[in-house]
Amino acid sequence: MPTSKGTSAKGGSLAVKEQASLQCAADNLLRSASECCRQQARIGRVLDLECGEEELEAVIEVSVLCVRILAESCERYAAVGSGSRDGLDEATWHAANTLWHASREYSRRHHSCNVKSAQMSRHSAAHLGELAVEYELKASAVLALRYAVEQYQKLRPDAH
């Protein structure tokens, strides 16, 4: 008989760490960042294919969810890693921190683009230049995130 998550067949609770290790938090950050990159590429493909507004809106919705999960992963990594390397070797620790910084920047740029886009519908076309700059900065953040993902994966290929 299936049991609920968090309990064993005998009724006791599963042994779960109260706080994830830094390695687990960094690996989680990798997977979240990698999915954001994948969804960003997917948006580009859907735009290129001109598949229709319904599909584009659905893809954007998934992308927004992925960014929210990435932001939560960043917070978790920061909470677990504050003040400790938790046994990570120097190279992995630096790669994880680079991934964390790139993830935070991508999340920030994604949010900024959403805010500017929402404002565009209420303002004149004079703000189009500002919006273009925001999207260029987001594109740069995507590249930095992809690079950070690749660098971390080189050190932790099994983490993905």
pLDDT per position as a tens digit, 108-131: 999 988 877 766 666 666 677 787
Q: Are 99 and 34 in contact (CB under 8 A)?
A: no
Specify if 6 maps to a domain.
no
Domain range for 105 is: 22-159
Is 11 part of any domain? no
Residue 122 inside a domain? The answer is yes
Residue 59 CB coordination number (10 Å):
19
pLDDT at 95 over 70: yes
The DSSP secondary-structure symbol of 159 reads G
Which has the higher per-residue pLDDT, 1 or 49?
49
Tally of domains in the chain: 1
The CATH number for 124's domain is: 1.20.1420
CB 129 within 8 A of CB 60: no
Residue 54 lies in a domain: yes
pLDDT, mean of residues 103-110: 96
pTM above 0.85, yes or no: no
Is 142 a domain residue? yes
For residue 12, being part of any structural domain is answered with: no
The answer to whether position 4 is within a domain reads no
> Is residue 2 included in any domain, yes or no?
no
